[in-house]
Amino acid sequence: MKKFVIIAFVAVTGLFSVNAMAQSKVAHINAQALVGSMPEAKKAETDLQTYAQSLEAEGKTMVDEYTKKVKEFDDKAASMTENMKEIKGREIQDAQKRIQDYRERAETQVQQKQQELLKPIYDKARKAIEDVAKEKGYGYVIDSSAGLLLVSPTADDLLPAVKTKLGIK
């Protein structure tokens, strides 16, 4: 009798879980296309390019200074003492190291700026996707921007609905 109750319990819970899974609707959206169509993303990209260009200009100044030192060294090397060549050589190496360090820092700063600018945009997009999925009764939304979604019905594409919710045409 005890085994019968356990088997009946397992069977009933299995039916409920299958029924719950059957009720979960799945939709898809190209999140990259959504974010790319948002006006905020276009502004963020412009701001990021401006920021990167300002860092690049500063780096160019350092490279110009380095090039000037190398040219000066090449022009005067024949008349320099060994001690002077060594000092100038170290100066050139130091300038080269500063340029390399600057490039690494600039790359990190651009990445941080990109994250700073895009986080609110991604958050806004995610919230809109969640809201539309809830309104339409979808339990799962798959991001199709990675290109891994092999087959998908157009009726379950949330991109048009989310764009409408965000006021994007």
Domain containing residue 67: 1-166
The rounded distance, in Å, linking the Cα atoms of 76 and 71 is 9
The rounded distance, in Å, linking the Cα atoms of 78 and 160 is 71
Phi then psi for residue 28, to 5 deg, are -135, 160
Q: What local confidence, expressed as pLDDT, does residue 25 receive? A: 86
Q: What local confidence, expressed as pLDDT, does residue 11 receive? A: 47
Which residue from 63, 59, 48, 47 is spatially nearest to 110, judged by alpha carbons?
48
Q: What local confidence, expressed as pLDDT, does residue 151 receive? A: 64
Sequence-separated (6 or more) residues with CB below 8 Å from residue 3: none
The rounded distance, in Å, linking the Cα atoms of 91 and 70 is 10
The alpha carbon of residue 122 and the mean position of all alpha carbons in its chain are separated, in whole angstroms, by 9
Place 169 in a pLDDT band, splitting at 50, 70 and 90: confident
Q: What local confidence, expressed as pLDDT, does residue 150 receive? A: 61
Contact criterion met (CB below 8 Å) for 129 and 141: yes
The rounded distance, in Å, linking the Cα atoms of 25 and 136 is 9
Structure tokens at 44: 């963020």
Q: What local confidence, expressed as pLDDT, does residue 35 receive? A: 93
pLDDT, tens digit (0-9, with 9 covering 90-100), for 111-163: 999 999 999 999 999 999 999 999 989 888 888 887 766 666 666 888 888 98
Q: What local confidence, expressed as pLDDT, does residue 8 receive? A: 42
* pLDDT exceeds 50 at position 80: yes
Q: What local confidence, expressed as pLDDT, does residue 15 receive? A: 46
The rounded distance, in Å, linking the Cα atoms of 61 and 110 is 18
Kindly report the pTM of this predicted structure. 0.68
Residue 6 DSSP SS3? helix
Q: What local confidence, expressed as pLDDT, does residue 107 receive? A: 95
pLDDT, tens digit (0-9, with 9 covering 90-100), for 34-72: 999 999 999 999 999 999 999 999 999 999 999 998 998
Question: Stretch 82-92: mean pLDDT, rounded?
Answer: 90
Tally of domains in the chain: 1
What letters, b where the CB count within 10 A reaches 16 and e where it falls short, cover 13-25?
eeeeeeeeeeeee
